[in-house]
Structure 1
Amino acid sequence: MATKQPHNVRWGFMATGWIVEVFTHDMLIDPSLRGADDILHTIVAVASSTSKVKAEKFIAGNNIPSPCAAYGTYDELVKDPNVDIIYVASPHSHHFQHAMLALEAGKNVLCEKALTVNAKQAKILIETARKKNVFFMEAVWTRYFPLCIQIRNLVKNNEIGEVLRVSADTSVGKADAENAWDVKHRMVNKDLAGGALLDLGIYSITWVFQILYNTLPPAERKPPSAIASQMVHYPLTGADESTSMLIEFPKSTPSGKFKSQGIALTNLRVAVDPDEKWSAGPSIRIQGTKGEIQVYGYPYMPTKYKLIPRKVEGQPDPEIKEVVAEFPGNGRGMYWEADEAARCVRDGKLESDGMPWEESLVILELMDEVRRQGGLTYPEKIESTEYPLEI
């Protein structure tokens, strides 16, 4: 019997920034090292919005095998017939325009988080993907870590009982932010939709939602029933440097018996891991009626978890289970979301169960409300749903 060949998915990259370098490194690692023998990733095109030379330097500097086309415009990239799926990795201020460009050209799209600046933009992208009958997914890479899938399954299987609270903190510790970043840096530049919420807070929100929302059957998932937040604005630009969110859900997981609460934190100045040894404890706590799960490592790249059962009177002390993440081929973990996207394209799926369109929309609606409460707005062109629009 002949061995079935892996399905080859041909990628085009829209942008050449740091995150694309990380993605490229992971994509070039042999999929069989992580047990993904059914798919193959080939990078066939890279586009820079500024020059073809920059795209060529990116290809050479990241050892992308030939043939790989270099383009100096995104219009050329989306017209390339050899490209099956486009990875949109421009600043999130530009996601709507760039994802629309790819979708309108009939391309499958994996778009970096935050998917868009607001929910209205995301709705249009989803409608366009549906109309064009192409795959479209927000690239929340953390969702596809085997460690995260294990944790979600523990919750679904009632291992820690009814989960009533999830707290997650994504804070990076740039105490002297004014000297760490120029005012034009994407982290603090409102012209690029900068700030803690959209760039970092999305990961804290991701943990709240992947546990308290995604673990319920789709028909049982309900948007937050209450949202309260506090925001501190960065004095030099007006972007948010600190945002704290308290999110109430009408149904707990897995049975829906109670209400539940998510606490999502993000801050540019304080650090969730001040001594870089995780002495401060876990960045995420998932608390249920029968115990809790503590997750270590930054929320975007968790490295281990502890399952701590609740002490039962008259019983021996419970055994604490510790699981450490593995990153085959010395990767960062971005290859798992690429694998998911490739399989969805192969199977003709329009969206992923791990990060479905409806959930991306609910999360963006949450962030819209948090921005409203905090008085955070971005330039009109960035918030616009007009397409095409030069930004």
Structure 2
Amino acid sequence: MTAPKTIRWGILATGAIAVTFTKDLLVDPKTRGVNHIKHTVVAAASSSSKSRAEQFLKDTGCPSDAKAYGSYEELVKDPNIDMVYIATPHSHHYQNAMFCLEAGKNVLCEKAFTVNAAQAKALAMKAQEKNLFLMEAVWTRYFPLSVYVRDLITSGRIGPVARVLADNSMALNPEESFNDGKHRMVNPDLAGGALLDLGIYSLTWVFQTLYHTQPESTRQPPKVLAALKSYGPTKAADEASTIVLNFPRSPEAGGDAHAVATTSLRVATAPAGNGDAPGIRIQGPNGEIQVFPPAFRPTRTKLILRDGTVEEKNWSQPGPGGGSGWYNGFAGGRNAEGEGHGMFWEADEAATALVEGRKEGKYEGLAESILIMEVMDEVRRQGGLSYPEKIETTKYPVQL
């Protein structure tokens, strides 16, 4: 048996999402049935201080010889890094990713990929120019649950998908939780608002079920109609967006299909937080597939067919297991002992692509990431929402 290939990661930024990703990354892939690759962290960088990077390495259980850097410049110069994971706010993704690509580093960049489609296109062009791997880290796409849902669709069990309803909303009480207006969820300087942070998951479910499952040679971009509600205190972020999409298809493929993607800071997909109502409903003439919240980390599906068949599945996240003393979660939340958060699946895909020589992700290529950014651009255009020029620009470098 061939020994697993070890991919050496550098972590750019040390906030909450970086902590969750890195802890998941260091879980032995064999615990999830992955045997051809392994992961290690060789360096992490904080833009604020080297000591913060040192603490991050310690908190996430990185190898003792991993290097801590107090600047991103030092990180990208490290010759031992195979892949950089970018964990900054999406307002900074374009500048950070371009910086890494210019330095010759392969990149896995957190969602939303960029602030707008022009930036996403520029990154894709740079990656192609440099012959580097580049992928948007939409972790949900790589869950076995998501693979199962897409396989149900392509198998034809519910017939051609006619309609998708997808919501990712959280009742956050933004005036109380983010009262200074500086939090990334509402701060226009960080491209704040529901759309780019939460709505990306609603659109992810629409696209992975109603676009990605169509033959690549025939699928077409959707027409978009949107309504956007501005967040009052800042007037420059959305607190709610509703998007109606029409996907053109041939009569033989079922004709045009519709989708409604919604997101909100102020109301919740499941008000009691117990996931009792499906956040995603994928409907065809022979039945529907339900996915229960949260949309970004679902663990339950339900297939309901017209003939009365009902198939329910629970999807636990693997990890070191009970009794391991290991925990992960996000932003203060904690999963059951030994249960991973689910970010290792996207890391496995990025590593596998490097081993196979691919330059983009298998379940969401760069063209699809760009298309979704174009949809969000159109939502913002129709809603009259723009961000400061310094984070919308494709100029590089720009100091943020």
> The TM-score by the shorter chain falls in which range?
over 0.9
* 1:6 aligned partner: 4
2:373 paired residue among 364, 375, 379: 364
**Large movers: runs of 4+ above 6 Å:** none
- The number of residue pairs the alignment matches comes to 379
Q: Which residue of 2 aligns with 1:230?
A: 227
Task: Map residues 156-167 of structure 1 onto 2, 5 A cutoff.
Answer: 156-167=154-165
> What's the offset of the Cα at 1:10?
0.3
CA RMSD of aligned residues (A): 1.1
Distance 2:311 2:79 in 1: 49
Residue identity (%)? 53
The alpha-carbon deviation at position 177 of structure 1 amounts to 1.4
User: Is the contact made by 2:349 and 2:362 (CA closer than 8 Å) also made in structure 1?
Assistant: no
Q: In the TM superposition, what whole-angstrom CA distance separates every residue of 1:154-188 from its partner, at most 9, and x where no partner exists? A: 101101001110011100111x2101113100000
Cα distance, 1:61 vs structure 2: 1.7
Q: Secondary structure at the match of 1:188?
A: coil
Equivalences for residues 96-115 of structure 1 within 5 A = 96-115=94-113
SS in structure 2 of the partner of residue 293 of structure 1: strand
Counterpart of 1:150?
148
* CA distance in structure 2 between the aligned counterparts of 1:151 and 1:348, rounded to whole angstroms: 27
Distance 2:212 2:362 in 1: 9
Q: By how many angstroms is 1:326 displaced?
A: 2.1
Q: Which moved more, 1:295-304 or 1:185-194?
A: 295-304
Structure 2 contact 269–293 (Cα < 8 Å) conserved: no
Letter in 2 for 1:74: Y
Aligned to 1:334: 343
Q: What is aligned with 2:266?
A: 269
Contact 1:212/1:252 (<8 A) preserved: no
Offset of residue 257 of structure 1: 2.5
Q: CA deviation at 1:50?
A: 1.1
By how many angstroms is 1:252 displaced?
7.3
- The residue number in structure 1 matching 2:38 is 40
Residue 81 of structure 1 corresponds to which residue in structure 2?
Answer: 79
Structure 1, residues 278-312: CA drift from partner, whole Å, max 9, x if none? 23x1010000011000111211011111110013x
Match of 1:375 among 384, 387, 390: 384
**Alpha-carbon distance in 2 for matches of 1:250, 1:284:** 21
1:139-288 aligned at under 5 Å gives the runs 139-174=137-172, 176-181=173-178, 182-224=180-222, 226-238=223-235, 239-251=237-249, 256-279=253-276, 281-288=277-284
Give 3-state SS (helix, strand or coil) of 2:253's partner. coil
**AA paired with 1:352?**
G
How many angstroms apart in 2 are the aligned matches of 1:183 and 1:277? 29
- Structure 1 199/79 Cα, relative in aligned 2: closer, same or farther at 3 Å? same
CA distance in 1, matches of 2:364, 2:353: 12
Deviation at 1:251, TM superposition (A): 1.6
With 192-201 and 59-68 compared, the bigger mean Cα shift is at 59-68
- After superposition, the C-alpha distances for 1:243-285 in whole angstroms (9 at most, x for unaligned) are 00001100279x6231001110000010111112223x10100
Distance in 2, Cα, partners of 1:252 & 1:110 = 35
Cα distance in 2 for residues equivalent to 1:114 and 1:260? 25
How many angstroms apart in 2 are the aligned matches of 1:256 and 1:128? Answer: 36
Q: Counterparts of 1:290-329 in structure 2 under 5 Å?
A: 290-311=286-307, 318-329=308-319
Matched residue of 1:363: which SS? helix
Secondary structure (helix, strand or coil) at the match of 1:219 reads coil
* 1:56-94 CA distance string (max 9 Å, x none): 111112221221111111111111000000001101001
Task: Summarize deviations over 1:173-231 as a string: whole Å, max 9, x none.
Answer: 11x2101113100000000001000000000000000011000111112101x211111
TM-score normalised to structure 2 length: 0.93
Which residue identity is paired with 2:309?
Answer: E
* Contact persistence 1:162–1:252 (CA under 8 A): no
Q: Which amino acid aligns with 1:288?
A: G
One of 13, 16, 22 as aligned partner of 1:15: 13
**Is this contact kept in 2: 1:39–1:343, CA < 8 A?**
yes
User: Which whole-Å CA distance do the structure 1 matches of 2:259 and 2:65 have between them?
Assistant: 47
TM-score scaled by length of structure 1: 0.95
Q: Report the CA distance shift for 1:287/1:47 in structure 2 as closer, same or farther (over 3 A).
A: same
Counterpart of 2:395 in structure 1 is 386
Which amino acid in 2 is paired with 1:367? M
CA distance in 1, matches of 2:52, 2:273: 35
Mapped contact 2:113–2:136 kept (Cα < 8 A): yes
The secondary structure found in structure 2 opposite 1:201 is helix
Q: How far does the alpha carbon of each residue in 1:359-389 deviate from its partner, in whole angstroms, 9 at most, with x for none?
A: 0111011000000000100001100010011
Q: Which runs of 5+ in 1 are unaligned?
A: 312-317
1:387 and 1:34, CA in 2 relative to 1: closer, same or farther beyond 3 A? same
User: Is this contact kept in 1: 2:162–2:254, CA < 8 A?
Assistant: no
Of residues 114, 117, 122 in structure 1, which corresponds to 2:115? 117
Structure 2, unaligned runs of 5 or more = 320-338
SS state of the match for residue 217, structure 2? Answer: helix
CA contact (8 A) 2:111 2:137 kept: yes
Q: Which amino acid aligns with 2:312?
A: E
